[in-house]
Every structure is written in C-alpha cells, then in structure tokens.
Amino acid sequence: MSISGRSAMFSRQVSDLASALPDERPVTAVCVVESISGCPPGFTAVARTYDLDTDADLWKDGFWRRETRYLCLSKLENAGVAGHVVEDVAVIGERDMPPESHTFLPHTTDTGNKAWKKKQLVYKLTAVEVASRFIVDVIVLGRQKANPEGFSLVGELNGLLVCCKYGQAMPTPKRAAPAPPLPYSPAARNGPKVPDSTLAQGYAGIDGVPFVINPKLNKSKELKHFTLTNASSMTVEDLEKLTDYDFRTEYATLQQATTP
C-alpha cells in the first residue's frame, strides 16, 4: 500500500474513532422544525428515539392530518447568542409562565407554525464564563419511563419523555497577581539612574549629586589676591578678641518684641 493510501486509511480510522466518542461540547442553540429536512445548517435534529430508534416526532398528530415537530440542537459558537451556552431546558404547560431567565420556542424555524400543543419546551441561555453547567445532549424516549444513566429527566411531551445530559463547566484559571512595585524613591525618580540593587539596599537623597562650587563664587581674579591670616602666630587672647561678639543688638531686638 502506498504512503497516500495508508494516510487516507489512518484518517478514516481517526474519524470513525472521533464519531464513536461522545460529544461533550456545550449546546449553544435550540430550535424546533416541522420537517427534518428543514433543520438549519449547523443544527442536528433529534429525529429518532433513544430507546426504540423510532420516529422522535414531538407533535404526534392524528391520522387525518400529518404534522410533525422535531427538536434541533447546535454546538456551533455562532449558532446562538455569542459567548452563551444552553444551561438548562424545561417542559411546562402551554399557558404556564417559564422559569426565570428561560426562553420560549413559540414557532417552527422552517415554516413559522405553532411549535407545540398542550405542553412546550423552554430553555435557558447563560454566559459561558459564569455557567456552572451546560447541556451537552438531549434525547427522546419512546417507551422507557425512566431516564437512562447519565441523563436527567426534563419532562413529557405528547407521550414521549425528554431527557438531557449535563456537562460541568471547567473553572477559569486565575492569573497570578503582579509583583508589588519597589518602594518609591524621589531620588530614583528625579535623580540619576541607579541599579535596582542599590535601591534595595537604600538610596540616599544626595547620592550622585556632584559637589561643585557655585559659578557665582568662582571668581578666579579675586581668589588670586585673597590671603588668609596666619593663625599660628596668634595667641589665644588674640583669637578670642577676633571672634568676640556679645549679641547685644539681637538681645535688644528680642526684648522689644516680647515687651507688651
């Protein structure tokens, strides 16, 4: 057998295996059709009963006028409301109000006729990020009166039992919290850039500040003729006389300021 032949056979085997496995993707949209051929693109009709493999017609009309109703499901993301899944389905009376947040299916998608008689099926859409569970399959039972293992009983429609299978939503992984910023340092913001290791050890406000003489004081001509007194030839008395100051003016000013 050639390489292309073996590849084609392997692809068919993978496809057969995939079709044999249960499809656990969430149902995203539900509708009702009068004819199986009227099932919209991307939808699958629940056309046969789960237990007897007979016609899964949910209308069960009389012999004189043949009318049928089939439930259709879709698992495509763009089939219903974007970002939503079918969280639940329920069977209620024809004139009953639906449970909270549930939606009616009043008409057939293909012909626009009335969808149900006596009882009706309603469903609930929920945003996928908050849904705790969702519908992955809906079946119809022709004779069996108890739900199969793994399925939950929804209700009875014209003598047929409707059951659904739930899937559990996977928790959304939480993102790790960002690392806290380093302590704020005015010198690090306005001063010269320093390595992070320096910041971690403590960064003084005067680090990196150049020590230079103010240009206003840098008068080279005057400095050439400036000489310091030879302090080594002065006695202690001479130094005391030179630095003696009794703060007489300051005391007088302070006394005047405090006198009422």
Out of 8-17, 204-213, 228-237, 243-252, give the one with best mean pLDDT: 243-252
Q: Are 158 and 118 in contact (CB under 8 A)?
A: yes
34: left (phi over 0), alpha (psi -120 to 50) or beta: alpha
Whether 210 shows a pLDDT value over 70: the answer reads no
- C-alpha to C-alpha distance for 124 and 102, rounded to whole angstroms: 4
Lookup result for tokens 């209700």? 155
d(CA 188, CA 210): 16
**Phi, psi at 188, each rounded to 5°:** -70, -30
C-alpha distances in angstroms, 173 versus 129, 134, 153, 170? 11, 19, 32, 9
- Residue 51 pLDDT level (bands cut at 50, 70, 90): very high
Which pLDDT value is given to residue 219?
Answer: 57
Mean pLDDT of the region 124-153: 95
Position 98: which residue type?
Answer: P
Distance CA 124, CA 195 (A): 58
User: Could you tell me which residues are beta bridge partners of residue 166?
Assistant: 135
Class of residue 88 by CB neighbours under 10 A (exposed 0-12, middle 13-18, buried 19+): buried
Q: What is the mean pLDDT of residues 193-205?
A: 48
What integer pLDDT is reported at residue 165 of this predicted model?
97
Mean pLDDT of all residues in the chain? Answer: 80
pLDDT band at 242 (very low <50, low <70, confident <90, very high): confident
Q: Residue 231 burial (CB < 10 Å; 0-12/13-18/19+)?
A: exposed
Rounded Cα distance, 159 and 60, in Å: 8
Kindly report, residue by residue over 59-102, the tens digit of the pLDDT.
977 666 678 999 999 999 999 999 999 999 999 999 999 999 99
- The residue among 213 and 137 whose pLDDT is bigger is 137
Q: Which residue has the higher pLDDT, 74 or 227?
A: 74
Counting residues of the chain whose pLDDT is more than 70, the rounded percentage is: 65
Please write the tens of the pLDDT for every residue from 33-50. Answer: 999 999 999 999 999 999
**Do 135 and 102 contact (CB within 8 A), yes or no?**
no
Banded pLDDT at 197 (limits 50, 70, 90): very low
Helix/strand/coil (H/E/C) assignment for every residue in 161-181: EEEEEEEECCCCCCCCCCCCC
- pLDDT score for 246: 72
With a cut of 90, say whether residue 245 has pLDDT above it.
no
The amino acid at 178: P
CB 89 within 8 A of CB 164: yes
pLDDT at residue number 236? 73
* pLDDT at res. 203: 46
Reply yes or no on whether the pLDDT at 226 is more than 60: no
- The pLDDT assigned to 200 comes to 45
Q: Got the DSSP string for 183-211?
A: PP-HHHHHS----HHHHHH---TTTT---
Residue closest to 28 by CA, chosen among 36, 40, 19: 40
Q: What is the pTM of this model?
A: 0.60
pLDDT band at 22 (very low <50, low <70, confident <90, very high): confident
Contacts 24+ apart (CB under 8 A), 219-224: none
